[in-house]
Amino acid sequence: TTKRVYNFSAGPSTLPVSVLESIASKMLNYNDSGMSVMEMSHRSSSYLEIFNETKTMLKKVMNIPDNYQILFIQGGATQQFSTIPLNLMKNGKADYIVTGAFSKKSAQEAKKFGDVHIVYDGSERNFKHIPTQDELDLREDTSYVHLCSNNTIYGTEWKYVPDTHGVPIVADMSSNILSKPIQVSDYGMIYAGAQKNMGIAGLGVVIVREDLIQDHQDKIPVLMEYDTIAKNDSMYNTPPTFSIYVLGEVLKWIDDLGGLEVMQKINEEKAKLLYDYLDQSDFYQTHSNPDNRSIMNVTFTCPNKDLDALFVKESVKAGMTNLKGHRSVGGIRASIYNAMEKEGVEALVAFMKKFEEENG
Ligand code: PMP
């Protein structure tokens, strides 16, 4: 096999090697169908088996209650920024909690469609912080409250579910879905782009409470009607067939490992390796506040920008890639999603130590 690097990309990101191997082994002839999954009609029995199994596995792994619909949609998470208000803003009002770049974008998009109230805006604190319950200025007569459960760019993560007095919470979980167990019934809707913990780009996953999608605004694009997508079991048109197949393979991998409890334990161990090292170092500074550090995206800086750039350059030579922080934050970002092996994080910590010794 060719040499693989430790890929710390924020997304699309690294996949489990066993998943890649399984897909590769069936590339020319999937389970005696005589063709690859990419070549299958989405209505064929071979493909429907894959599709149904993927849905069943997602339901099992996330323990999704029966009154929730699972929708597979093209257009990624960003498309949902528009689709959500068109379907869920029942009384023309929605509340948005802005904790990072993507929640800001989702609020901006929703403003096109109704009265959007910004419950909390973290920009003044440079998005280092997740609001506490006391800091949330929620309206009671609002259709839903939107939040982003993990801020991919800033490296912060919600550690609790806010009390919204019964108003449904809509959560963008793009960068931490499947990283730990959650109570699906705490949310009206959960959505994610698949290209981090779920698999590959091209697929958006929506998990939504049935009663919330009985109606929607008039005259909206048909592919944005959640009820139409649900009634047609995500096959109103051609779904992203291969991306759904990859999701199914990733879910089997998680299930074989022992499910989301085990996944969380592994993820916390990996994150601890990095944060423990960062905390005892005077050389590196973490971006996010300790209380709300993400276990998926670890953001930090070296003492100056030149050293940040040198860190990124030298890390490539050491077999690591995509450690450059997002342009809006700078510094370093290590995305350590489910599929990043512990060895990769250990290699990164060893590299950080060496870099500090040489440049501190
Ligand atoms: N939300 C979050 C939290 C993200 O991290 C991203 C992508 N990095 C998006 C939304 C946008 O997703 P997509 O590119 O699938 O539209």
Query: Which residue, by CA, sits nearest to atom 3 of ligand 1?
Result: 174
Q: What is the mean pLDDT of residues 290-311?
A: 97
Residue closest to 241 by CA, chosen among 14, 60, 54, 12: 54
* Residues whose beta carbon lies within 6 Å of some atom of ligand 1: 11, 76-78, 102, 148, 152, 172, 174-175, 193
Quote the tokens at residue 249. 């393979």
Instruction: Give residue limits of the domains in the chain.
Output: 18-257, 259-359
Q: pLDDT tens digit string along 64-113? A: 999 999 999 999 999 999 999 999 999 999 999 999 999 999 999 999 99
Residue 1 pLDDT level (bands cut at 50, 70, 90):
low
CATH class of the structural domain 259-359: alpha beta
Tokens 């990996």 locate to 270
Beta-carbon-side half-sphere exposure of residue 333 (alpha carbons within 13 Å): 25
Please state the φ and ψ torsions of residue 33, each to the nearest 5 degrees: -80, -15
Read off the pLDDT of residues 6-54 as tens digits, 9 standing for 90 and up: 999 999 999 999 999 999 999 999 999 999 999 999 999 999 999 999 9
User: What pTM did the predictor assign?
Assistant: 0.98
Counting residues of the chain whose pLDDT is more than 70, the rounded percentage is: 99
Residue % of the chain over a pLDDT of 90: 97
The answer to whether residues 312 and 332 touch, using CB atoms and an 8 Å cutoff, is yes
CA of residue 103 to ligand 1 center, whole Å: 10
DSSP assignment string, 96-122 = EEE-SHHHHHHHHHHHTTSEEEEEEEG
How far, in Å, is the centroid of ligand 1 from the Cα of 283? Answer: 31
Taking the C-alpha atoms of residue 92 and residue 22, their distance in angstroms, rounded to an integer, is 47
Mutate to test the pocket of ligand 1, among 158, 175, 179, 191 (most ligand atoms within 8 A of CB): 175
289 pLDDT band, cuts 50/70/90, is very high
CA 133 to chain centre: 23
Please name which of 71, 96, 113 lies closest in space to residue 225, comparing C-alpha atoms: 71
**Pure H helices in 285-360:** 305-317, 342-359
3-state helix, strand, coil in the chain (%, to 5): 40, 15, 40
Confidence of residue 328 (pLDDT cuts 50, 70, 90): confident
**Mean per-residue pLDDT, 118-129:** 94
The radius of gyration computed from the CA coordinates of the chain, to the nearest angstrom, equals 21
Binding site residues, as ranges?
Answer: 43, 77-78, 102, 152, 172, 195, 237-238
CA atoms within 13 A on the CB side of 124: 3
User: Could you give phi then psi for residue 3, rounded to 5 degrees?
Assistant: -70, 130
Q: In this structure, which residue's CA is closest to atom 2 in ligand 1?
A: 174
Tell me whether 0.90 is exceeded by the ipTM.
yes
Please give the CATH topology (third level) of the domain spanning 18-257: Aspartate Aminotransferase; domain 2 (3.40.640)
Pull the structure tokens for residue 174: 């793009």
184: its two tokens: 């699906």
Residue with tokens 């990283």: 179
Q: What pLDDT is stored for residue 157 in this prediction?
A: 98
Give the type of residue at 272.
Answer: K
Burial class (CB in 10 A: 0-12, 13-18, 19+), 336: buried
Instruction: Kindly report, residue by residue over 196-254, the tens digit of the pLDDT.
Output: 999 999 999 999 999 999 999 999 999 999 999 999 999 999 999 999 999 999 999 99
Alpha carbon nearest to ligand 1 atom 6, residue: 174
Q: Compute the mean pLDDT over every residue in the chain, rounded to the nearest whole number.
A: 97
CA 152–ligand 1 middle distance (angstroms): 8
Instruction: Give pLDDT, residue 185.
Output: 98
d(CA 110, CA 93): 10
